[in-house]
Amino acid sequence: MNIHFTARRFKAHDSLRQHALDAVKKLDRIYDGVIDASIILSYERAYNSVKIAEIQVKVHGAVLTAVEKSDDFMKSIDAAVEKMERQLRKHKEKLHSR
């Protein structure tokens, strides 16, 4: 699985980047058909802003997207990964039911 990391309008710390990469690597355990994954971190305003984490996963035949907003990047990443886990399980069940 290829993982692309993007931080829009800021430079992400190594700890934040590593946390995001580790969280997305866990998705490979749920469904092994993941081809590519993109992590996009951004925020709305410079002060007291809402942090946004977007995860896009390319699987065979579909592109799944999870977007989550909160007051902290770590919380946003964890919530987006949880959403993506649910989407991958649902996609996997659809493929096996055919």
List domains and CATH numbers for the chain. Answer: 2-97 (3.30.160.100)
pLDDT of residue 96: 87
Q: Which two tokens stand for residue 72?
A: 């902290």
Task: Give mean pLDDT, residues 22-43.
Answer: 95
Measured CA to CA, the distance from residue 8 to residue 96 in angstroms comes to 37
Task: Give mean pLDDT, residues 18-24.
Answer: 97
Q: Give yes or no for residue 20 having a pLDDT over 80.
A: yes
Query: How far are the Cα atoms of 9, 35, 59, 85 from residue 52, in angstroms, in the given order?
Result: 12, 23, 23, 18
Q: How much is the pTM?
A: 0.92
Q: Give yes or no for residue 26 having a pLDDT over 90.
A: yes
4 near 21, Cβ under 8 Å?
no
Task: Give mean pLDDT, residues 46-50.
Answer: 84
Q: Give yes or no for residue 98 having a pLDDT over 80.
A: no
Residue with tokens 């980047």: 17
Where does the pLDDT of residue 47 fall: very low under 50, low under 70, confident under 90, or very high at 90 and above?
A: confident
Measured CA to CA, the distance from residue 64 to residue 62 in angstroms comes to 6
